Amino acid sequence: MISGLSHMTFIVADLDRSERLWVEGLEARKIYDSGKAGFSLSPERFFLLGQGAEPLWIALMEGAPLPERSYNHVAFKIEDAELEACQARLAHLGVDMREGRSRVAGEGRSLYFHDFDNHLFELHTGTLEQRLARYAAGQHGRNVPS
């Protein structure tokens, strides 16, 4: 039985540039750098993202970037009060911000951005419980901005 998330691995063309995104933009902490003598398929770096008892283990491996963008994405939880500061840090690093999708009021705010290798990420202020409660309340107004 699955007990939780172990780690997420992203293939990136430039480990140094991607490290700046994770450390400076998302406030991850680097915990490992294989250098040129790695144990895996290619050079890699590990980061811890988030606070609390179980921060997320993020692995970056050097390789060819995704050939195109899609809406497949990973959404990270963020406090609403921190969203604008994080957006400013990411903008400073030159990541490509994406227009957010229309939402019904009450399901949280989101910031979407692509990294330098075509991965799409979302910073989201809501919870699953809030979204389900909002959907259960009806009024399917998909075009209500939040």
Looking at the structure, tell me whether residues 4 and 45 fall in a common domain.
yes
Containing H/E element for 15? Answer: helix 15-20
Looking at the structure, tell me whether residues 60 and 72 fall in a common domain.
no
Spans in the chain with pLDDT lower than 70: 100-104, 139-146
Looking at the structure, tell me whether residues 58 and 93 fall in a common domain.
no
Q: Which candidate in 24, 27, 44, 122 is catalytic?
A: 44
**What amino acid occupies position 53?**
A
Q: Are 35 and 43 in contact (CB under 8 A)?
A: yes
pLDDT at 144: 41
Known catalytic residue at 44 = yes
Of 76, 72, 71, give the one whose Cα is nearest residue 47: 76
For residue 74, the domain's CATH number is: 3.10.180.10
Q: Which residue has the tokens 């309340």?
A: 137
pTM value is: 0.84
| Number of domains the chain is built from | 2
DSSP-derived 3-state class of residue 97? strand
Looking at the structure, tell me whether residues 73 and 134 fall in a common domain.
yes
Could you tell me the residue range of the domain that residue 44 belongs to? 1-64
Looking at the structure, tell me whether residues 3 and 57 fall in a common domain.
yes
Looking at the structure, tell me whether residues 22 and 82 fall in a common domain.
no
pLDDT at 1: 86
